[in-house]
């Protein structure tokens, strides 16, 4: 397990999936805002669940997030679109409603940076998030990500086109102990 100060990132367990489906996927608004594609219902146990993991997939690395104190499932995190030629990847995360607002998001981003830069030897990490997602923007910026641009009207979310903010962090600008 990869450890931050409050949360750990471990492999996805089979019994995480029904909890993630109920608390994350079945929240149509939050899923539509995070996924970038239309929400649809998923049959319990389906291999098409966004939370089902294919361990042979090399470009998308999925983690479950757990509280270090007690091991309770807190959400999901991923390093996706891993590009070993350009040595870059994207950061993604989503927390259970009860786990939000406790500083876990910032901690998850810190652990994903460690995984990307130290374990995988990448040089650039990237975040795309809706321009009104203050918690995600702050979680990234706390870890040194800088805003590189706005992708205007780039995603269709629940009846309207919304802007995304693109943030990037280069390994030479990364400060692992950064806390503010
Ligand atoms: C986005 C998300 C991962 C952030 O994680 P979190 O644990 O809730 O965030 P944190 O508690 O670490 O807070 C990070 C910062 O954002 C601030 N923040 C949190 N919610 C906020 C809000 N609604 N408005 C403004 N600032 C907010 C916190 O105060 C904190 O700032 P600080 O470090 O200066 O104190 C989490 O809220 C979540 O899973 N949301 C739903 C799914 C989602 O949006 N995923 C991202 C898709 S790109």
CB-CB contact of 9 with 105 (8 Å)? no
Query: Measuring CA to CA, which residue among 95, 158, 89, 101 is closest to residue 128?
Result: 89
- Residue 69's pLDDT is what? 96
CA R_g for the chain: 16
Taking CA atoms only, the protein residue closest to ligand 1 atom 27 is 135
Q: How confident is the model at residue 150 (pLDDT cuts 50, 70, 90)?
A: very high
Is residue 92 within a helix (H) or strand (E), and if so which, with residue range?
Answer: strand 88-95
For 19-78, how does the pLDDT look when each residue is reduced to its tens digit (9 = 90+)? Answer: 999 999 999 999 999 988 899 999 988 988 999 999 999 999 999 999 999 999 999 999
- Which position has the token pair 């899923």? 31
- Specify the ligand 1 atom closest to the Cα of 128: 48
pLDDT digits (tens, 9 = 90+) for 72-119: 999 999 999 999 999 999 999 999 999 999 999 999 999 999 999 999
Separation between Cα atoms, residue 5 and residue 128, nearest integer Å: 24
* Residues in CB range of 180: below 8 A, 6 or more apart: 142
To the question of pTM greater than 0.75 for the whole model, the response is yes
How many degrees, rounded to 5, is the angle at CA 21 between CA 116 and CA 133? Answer: 55
- Structural domains in the chain, CATH included, are 2-124 (3.40.630.30)
Distance (Å, whole) CA 125 – CA 82:
9
What DSSP assignment string belongs to 31-49?
HHHHHSS------TT-TT-
172 CA → ligand 1 middle, Å: 25
Distance 85 CA to ligand 1 centre (A): 32
Q: Is the pLDDT of residue 146 over 80?
A: yes
pLDDT for 180 equals 44
Residue 178 has pLDDT above 50, yes or no: yes
* Cα(110) to centroid(ligand 1), Å: 14
């Amino acid at each position: 397990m990869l450890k931050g100060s409050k949360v750990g990132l471990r492999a996805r367990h089979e019994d995480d999936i029904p909890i993630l489906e109920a608390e994350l996927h079945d929240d149509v608004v939050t899923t539509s805002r995070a996924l970038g594609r239309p929400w649809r219902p998923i049959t319990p146990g389906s291999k098409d669940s966004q939370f089902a993991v294919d361990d042979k997939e090399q470009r998308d690395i999925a983690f479950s997030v757990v509280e270090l104190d007690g091991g309770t499932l807190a959400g999901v995190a991923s390093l996706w679109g891993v590009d070993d030629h350009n040595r870059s990847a994207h950061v993604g995360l989503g927390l259970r409603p009860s786990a939000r607002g406790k500083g876990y998001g910032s901690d998850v981003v810190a652990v994903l940076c460690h995984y990307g830069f130290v374990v995988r030897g990448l040089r650039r990490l990237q975040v795309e998030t809706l321009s009104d997602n203050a918690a995600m923007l702050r979680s990234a910026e706390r870890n040194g990500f800088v805003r590189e641009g706005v992708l205007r009207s780039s995603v269709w979310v629940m009846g309207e086109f919304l802007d995304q903010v693109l943030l990037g962090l280069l390994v030479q600008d990364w400060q692992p102990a950064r806390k503010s």
